[in-house]
Amino acid sequence: MTVRTRFAPSPTGYLHIGGARTALFCYLYARKHGGQFILRIEDTDLERSTAESVNAILEGMTWLGLDYDEGPFFQTQRFDRYNQVIDELLAKGLAYRCDCPKERLEKLRIDQMARKQKPRYDGHCRNRRVDPDRPHVIRFKNPVDGVVVVDDLIRGRVPFANEELDDLIIRRSDGAPTYNLSVVVDDLDMRITHVIRGDDHLNNTPRQINILRALGADPPHYAHVPMILGEDGTRLSKRHGAVSVIAYREMGYLPEALLNYLVRLGWSYGDRELFTLDEMIEYFDIKDVNKAPSIFNASKLTWLNQQYLQHADPARIARLLSPHLGHLGIDPSTGPELIEVVKAMAPRAKTLVELAELSAFCYRDFDSYDEASAKKHLGPEARLPLERLRAAFELMALDDWTPEQLKYTVERVAEELGLGLARVAQPLRVAIVGRAASPGIEETLRLVGKTATLRRIERALEYIASLSAG
RNA sequence: GCUCUCUUCGUCUAGUGGUCAGGACGCUGGCCUCUCACGCCGGUAACAGGGGUUCGAAUCCCCUAGAGAGCGCCA
């Protein structure tokens, strides 16, 4: 039997970090076994489901590169099928109509809580005849005794006593089927072999198995992956900052970095930290996933992103960087070749956003000097080196404005003045970049270009003069 | 409250009866060096607690504590 997994988010928000990891695990497991990965949108909650959320989820999946073989399927388009199954259950006496008013249910719950019992439906309508023409819901007749065992690929054997379960609603009074029913029917119809999903569904699983059995089907394999928690150890939510996958794209993260981070959350392969998607597929096994929840650690993600930024194809990074430069009001076509800028700057940036900021000096004059850098390198003693550099640069032909010539020129000026290279290169760097950090000085000069270099040296000289005057 | 689940450095993890408890991120000392980043060498820091079983326990059993999830006409 070929492996078939599915990712089944409900479109009530963006694709979040936890969902993305579940999707990744489903994807990897299917790919590893040469099976199929299916996307299903669980939108039976008409109240909260939105088209925007569907788009956001699709966008997230596409960005991450988690391509699915079938779908997206929408549960709202399968209501007829669910109702057919519900009617079948009804006809076979495996489900029943219930018209218990909400007040009764509410009172029941309060009484049970008061008696320190788990709130459960008491089966009041199990053997009553409820008029089909009056408002009612359909409940599944859960077995009253015995044990359901969830044989989980990650948790192991988890037995549940049927007496802990109650007769859950499978069709609402408005005729819409509920989650537990539609999931079961879909997984069955879509021939899902491995249900890989969040930990929060473990308690639902025995109910679903019971429905499956009532339908005469064998349950699929289950794997419940632990949750991802925020820095404070509570369930990841908006107040922990960015939780949507798309937010990470906006913050300048690479999809492969996010994927790499996510796969290592709850899973490992020896001491290995870096994985390409193909390597993940090769090494991943759902059985190796940890049982304990893990805390989302942004600094490790950032480190991974830097690793990928360092080794990614410059042409691709250039493409991804353009919009971020745009946000800063920079048009890359107005300056040095973007790909050259990327080659020089990308290894020093942690995100695309940072890369854009660090690269801005190549395209426009900076606003002001970094205070500490100016204080350290643009004192009176910087005047002479800068003047000599200006003179030397002025004499250079545009054709000679190459890293080799520039390096030679800077070194020569230092030599002539009997200064260490740092005493010359650093003032120059602050003069043309605005701060004391940049690629090698010759590379920096080349990117800035002759005109801007001379203009900025002039500015630095004025700055130095203003210090002694002021 | 009830049911289920989980528990190794701050964080992600390796470990499946005998290890100086390993790696990674972070933090940190140093080297490299025109600066930054990278890289390299080093440091920091953990078996939740208590009982057993065993010659020997992070590893097996029990209890306690803490954490998470579920208990909806949400998914």
Integer angstrom CA distances of residue A270 from A267, A283, A290: 10, 10, 14
Give me the amino acid identity at A361: F
pLDDT at A470: 60
- Backbone CA torsion sign across A198, A203, A209, A215: negative
Q: Tell me the nt nearest to A101, Cα to C1'.
A: B73
Question: Gap from A333 CA to B45 C1', in Å?
Answer: 50
A264 touches strand B (CB under 7 A): yes
pLDDT at A285: 93
Protein-proximal nucleotides of chain B (any atom < 7 Å from a CB): 1-8, 10-14, 22-26, 34-39, 67-75
Question: Gap from A160 CA to B67 C1', in Å?
Answer: 22
A202 touches strand B (CB under 7 A): yes
Q: Which residues of A are catalytic?
A: 238
Question: Gap from A176 CA to B74 C1', in Å?
Answer: 13
pLDDT at A76: 92
As averages over each run of 10 residues, the pLDDT of chain A (470 residues) reads 94 91 96 97 87 94 97 93 95 94 90 88 90 93 92 91 92 92 96 94 94 95 92 76 89 97 94 95 94 92 96 96 96 94 96 97 95 93 96 94 96 94 96 96 96 97 85
A438 touches strand B (CB under 7 A): yes
Helix (H, G, I), strand (E, B) or coil at A150: strand
Q: Tell me the nt nearest to A289, Cα to C1'.
A: B13
Question: Gap from A290 CA to B18 C1', in Å?
Answer: 26
Nearest to A338 by CA among A355, A320, A318, A357: A318
A108 touches strand B (CB under 7 A): no
Supply A361's token pair.
């000096």
A169 touches strand B (CB under 7 A): yes
Name residue, tokens 């260490």: A420
Interface confidence: ipTM more than 0.85: yes
User: What string of DSSP letters covers A313-367?
Assistant: -HHHHHHHHHHHHHHTT--GGGSS-HHHHHHHHGGG-SSHHHHHHHHGGGTS--S
Name residue, tokens 């270009």: A449
Question: Gap from A285 CA to B16 C1', in Å?
Answer: 18
Give me the amino acid identity at A179: Y
Residue A390 and residue A429 in contact, taking contact as beta carbons nearer than 8 Å: no
Supply A351's token pair.
């995100």
A103 touches strand B (CB under 7 A): no
A76 touches strand B (CB under 7 A): no
Please tell me the distance from the alpha carbon of residue A184 to that of residue A220, in angstroms, as a whole number.
10
pLDDT at A118: 87
Residue A152 and residue A223 in contact, taking contact as beta carbons nearer than 8 Å: yes
* End-to-end Cα spacing for chain A: 83
Helix (H, G, I), strand (E, B) or coil at A294: strand
A419 touches strand B (CB under 7 A): no
Question: Gap from A273 CA to B55 C1', in Å?
Answer: 39
